Structure 1
């Protein structure tokens, strides 16, 4: 059985240690929206769900970015 897309978003955010509130804030989505979808299991906007997933992708990529690593030239 395929996982619900809302549950999948929550699970992925959890796996990467990213708060859903941060994803919502950065994506410009009300913090209550994913919770409301999750509790009712209907009414999820695919456009907004896609935007939340894309924002989570960006946050994960930022964390993995070598730009935060110390420069070898500074050593």
Structure 2
């Protein structure tokens, strides 16, 4: 999913992101403003996982969005 789609649906995605990654704070989500790489970095930081693992989680989240939207 490209950044334009994420930015366009950001307010709708906010709740889904919080459900998927409960360790993300409202400040984290506010600063992301739809930027995928920032999301990957915050998932990596909050969950203490490798960047590749965080990117894979975000990619799976994006696949889920494509199937449901």
What TM-score do the two structures reach when normalised by structure 2?
A: 0.36
What TM-score do the two structures reach when normalised by structure 1?
A: 0.35
